[in-house]
Chains A and B, each alone.
Chain A
């Protein structure tokens, strides 16, 4: 499998070519270079997946973990060193497929979406950089390599959010995204340092005696690493950067902030899963509680947002919460007994990446057509944009959990796992799933049904996007329709690596379908018509609550308070003042006092013989007295 190195090499190459020579290229050439390199990556990823999953299992019945490349990058001491390499195991291979598929679709889509934009070449260069970093992250052979690429995806995300760098909101959003995730990464870094120091290795699979050495500190290390994961995966309260990150171009939101980078935290927990389950089950359950709260919080905020990309952003946060819950509710590594969540979480990661990318790309088409993100400017678009409409509907049904779309299958597994953990968790997640269906159909009706925006239609009629944009929609929609029931996901990935047959738990499935249908019906009743008396009445009746939800429960105000008031005004400004006025003035005072004592001593040297004689005599007298007294 040595050819896998090309999966990383191709995007680097296209990044370098586009970064260094992009400005001399025509837009089309630059786009083609980026897209071709990603086509190569996608082909190689599929080939890898095919070869990997068709290879015979080992005697224990699991897929062999391969490491076709690994070299020492930065040595620290005899036991600790950062290695760079490629690790192939079921989850990394699955992630390869997800990332390359979505990335390729976004590359193609961007041809249409970014057409004629200034900085088109730069955009493709950054996309290549991101693809490289993300692929490197999932292929990492050790935790430190993961951290290296973790930072690189962070910076690619920063660059892409700030792509429209003349827009103040984009600048602020990119800064916020980077700093918030950096803050979380501090936890990750300290976690890695603890892990590395006590364990004596950075690898994912330490020896038994190394684990013994780490002992009590392993849960702490894993918990700190999870903080890093929570930052990237926008878990409450570190989620505040993600809604703002929607300032970036929409295809970027689809790729980075819906399908790939934001699930890095989930991937991290899955990667450390054997350690979590074996040595820190309490920490793992903490992950579940954080995930569940985030899922609920984000779902309730999503019900009140009016910007379509924000609704999708909160929906992403909520769905990542589902994945975290799925991983967190595991109690053993056996999928038949309490270990189902691992497979369910990874499955949901896979299906969610596809339908959420589809939703975002669809939203991109809509924004392209109406030149606004606000739901109030839309309405009745189904006639004008048939392909976008159908594909968007498919994705909505998938995320709402209606069979036979993919989301139903993965969500059903998650709910089953939750019910196995505790009925309370199961019911809570079922209700959140219902909320998901509700806000997604609120969005759907708001965009495609209801009154047409006459104001807008006066200027130009909205129209369907070009093929370069609709083609990715159709591909992703096809995947969304079939991958739930065709793909034997449990055969590839399960908590202990053994093949697991996904079977529906009828009771859970029926409950979740019923809840979803009720939620959809409710949304239809409230939002499908031209006028929305019920929704308006509710918004008025619960004005405070609605406003709080619209304002995202004031989390951003807290962020502003911390950065502006605390860091800027209460720490940095006084410190800078102290530096200038106390420490520096002390140095100036030293210089001044030297000067002043010189001035003071000056009169002694007045050039008069008489006064010199006086001093001379005085000196002799004093010395004589001292000598005499001795």
Chain B
């Protein structure tokens, strides 16, 4: 059996296990076992992928497999991975693993919560291994729908409203996406839904002109593209901790990944026509998100807007359409996934203790919960691009890549986007100064305790990943760079 199918099979087995589980310990046991297996699997896949590449494997995708699913519509269950999907799988596995520990004490309906959580992970893993447009779309939907229940049931604040808004906007996006996918399929006149096969065909320019924006927007909504990002602040603010982690950490990456692998890869002419338009939108996203984050008072809103800015940078880099910038985009996805998950995990832990996320009501947490506070500072430093942590290498790769364009338009966009590194420092340091430093004003908060072992485990894993990526970026960069090549060569004729 193909190793990739295990990424779907393991979560399905976990679902079964959760269904059978009778008490909390069994539920936790299943989750820990399952997510550890996934993590090991992802690590093993990464190692063997690099091994195969070093051994001289030159195919675009490795570990490919295909089973016909519904022949009349040419739908097949096709899987395969390249460097981009490998690192995305690794990212997802890390987030799912740490997310399990971050929701260790979640109540009520723990079992049901974890079942939806696992289903969501199934969708995410399935999406990253698929190479068939239809299968990809199906897993995409599988990943989206549990979000509605996870926020609506286990959320906080205006949870019903947020859940509805998030679901509707993302569903609206996937409606566009479906049209885009069908446009690709019929435009190419293909006998298959396999991305790799379609890429070899030429889709007529008229088709590309119409369907590129459909597909790009469809995925772009999930990648928080301005002006379709407003689901993100409300959604994140209401979602429970691990869901925020998974959502910002992985789900939003589906957007960027899809834009690259489906929209741009299959419709390069469309990308050339529409590229500048979307580039303006993403440049706005980058700066707009950063400036909006400066005045927010809710910790989760700050990070949601910060995500708009950072995910905007992902799409920005993709649309720059150079090899280096695309590598940077993937690195930025990876880095943003890890550091935002870390942020949301910490915010959840702080909220769980203080019952407020309002920065005006928090102060002096460094003295009360030093572990969480130090974690928060590290997450903040990663976010503002400190060398040695993941944010720096991603941003630098993006900027160096974007600079390869010599025309005024691209140059202006690049310089505008670089200013975000200053604004990021403003909003990060503002929060750190307000909530962690100073003296504690609220006597209730003085009694609070620092992180428990499960929380520490989650935080340490994420910090290790953020630092690991930041300190030893060369191997990840190599893995991605080689895989970006076929897609970029389509884009630059």
Q: Report if A and B associate in a common complex.
A: yes
Question: Shortest CB–CB separation between residue B492 and chain A, in angstroms?
Answer: 14
A568 in the interface, Cβ–Cβ < 8 Å? yes
Residues in A whose Cβ lies below 8 Å from that of B393: 74
Cross-chain contact B438 with A165 (CB below 8 angstroms): yes
B156 in the interface, Cβ–Cβ < 8 Å? no
Cross-chain contact B324 with A76 (CB below 8 angstroms): yes
Determine which of A152, A162, A182 lies in contact with B422 in the assembled complex, contact meaning CB atoms within 8 Å: A182
Q: In the bound complex, what is the Cα–Cα distance between A80 and B396 (angstroms)?
A: 12
B360 in the interface, Cβ–Cβ < 8 Å? no
Cross-chain contact B429 with A175 (CB below 8 angstroms): yes
**With A74-B393, A186-B421, A571-B291 in contact, do A178 and B381 touch (Cβ < 8 Å)?**
no
Cross-chain contact B165 with A587 (CB below 8 angstroms): yes
User: Which single residue of chain B is at the shortest CB-CB distance from A162?
Assistant: B437
**With A166-B438, A175-B433, A583-B227 in contact, do A77 and B426 touch (Cβ < 8 Å)?**
no
Cross-chain contact B404 with A197 (CB below 8 angstroms): yes
**With A75-B481, A152-B388, A165-B366 in contact, do A193 and B399 touch (Cβ < 8 Å)?**
yes
Cross-chain contact A572 with B430 (CB below 8 angstroms): no
Cross-chain contact B421 with A182 (CB below 8 angstroms): yes
**With A182-B421, A186-B418, A575-B291 in contact, do A587 and B438 touch (Cβ < 8 Å)?**
no
Cross-chain contact B294 with A166 (CB below 8 angstroms): no
Question: Shortest CB–CB separation between residue A590 and chain B, in angstroms?
Answer: 8
Question: Shortest CB–CB separation between residue B60 and chain A, in angstroms?
Answer: 20
Residues in A whose Cβ lies below 8 Å from that of B211: none
B201 in the interface, Cβ–Cβ < 8 Å? no
**With A155-B381, A171-B437 in contact, do A587 and B169 touch (Cβ < 8 Å)?**
yes
Residues in A whose Cβ lies below 8 Å from that of B423: 567
Determine which of A77, A189, A583, A586 lies in contact with B399 in the assembled complex, contact meaning CB atoms within 8 Å: A189
What does DSSP make chain B's interface, helix, strand, loop or mixed? helix
Determine which of A82, A174, A186 lies in contact with B419 in the assembled complex, contact meaning CB atoms within 8 Å: A186
A72 in the interface, Cβ–Cβ < 8 Å? yes
Q: In the bound complex, what is the Cα–Cα distance between A82 and B324 (angstroms)?
A: 13
Among B384, B387, B392, B418, the one with the most A-chain Cβ atoms within 10 Å of its Cβ is B387
**With A76-B400, A155-B386, A572-B292 in contact, do A175 and B430 touch (Cβ < 8 Å)?**
yes
Residues in A whose Cβ lies below 8 Å from that of B366: 165
Please provide the chain A residues from 533 to 571 with a CB less than 8 Å away from any CB of chain B in the complex: 563, 567-568, 571
B13 in the interface, Cβ–Cβ < 8 Å? no
Please provide the chain A residues from 590 to 605 with a CB less than 8 Å away from any CB of chain B in the complex: 591
Residues in B whose Cβ lies below 8 Å from that of A219: none
Residues in B whose Cβ lies below 8 Å from that of A165: 366, 436-438
Determine which of A72, A147, A584 lies in contact with B230 in the assembled complex, contact meaning CB atoms within 8 Å: A584
B364 in the interface, Cβ–Cβ < 8 Å? yes
B17 in the interface, Cβ–Cβ < 8 Å? no
Residues in A whose Cβ lies below 8 Å from that of B388: 148, 152
B453 in the interface, Cβ–Cβ < 8 Å? no
A50 in the interface, Cβ–Cβ < 8 Å? no
B220 in the interface, Cβ–Cβ < 8 Å? no
A573 in the interface, Cβ–Cβ < 8 Å? yes
Cross-chain contact A166 with B364 (CB below 8 angstroms): yes
Cross-chain contact A579 with B437 (CB below 8 angstroms): no
User: Which single residue of chain B is at the shortest CB-CB distance from A193?
Assistant: B403
Cross-chain contact A576 with B401 (CB below 8 angstroms): no
Residues in A whose Cβ lies below 8 Å from that of B473: 73-74
Q: In the bound complex, what is the Cα–Cα distance between A579 and B384 (angstroms)?
A: 23
Q: In the bound complex, what is the Cα–Cα distance between A49 and B477 (angstroms)?
A: 37
Mark A residues whose CB is within 8 Å of B.
72-77, 80, 82, 144, 147-149, 151-152, 155, 158, 162, 165-166, 168, 171-172, 174-175, 178-179, 182-183, 185-186, 189-190, 193-194, 196-197, 563, 567-568, 571-573, 575-576, 579, 583-584, 586-588, 591
Provide 21 A-B residue pairs closer than 8 Å at the C-beta atoms, listed in order of the A residue: A72-B474, A74-B396, A74-B473, A76-B400, A77-B323, A80-B324, A149-B387, A151-B387, A152-B387, A162-B433, A165-B437, A166-B364, A174-B433, A179-B425, A182-B422, A197-B404, A567-B294, A567-B423, A575-B292, A591-B165, A591-B168
Top 6 nearest A-B pairs by Cβ distance? A148-B387, A165-B437, A572-B294, A584-B230, A572-B295, A171-B433
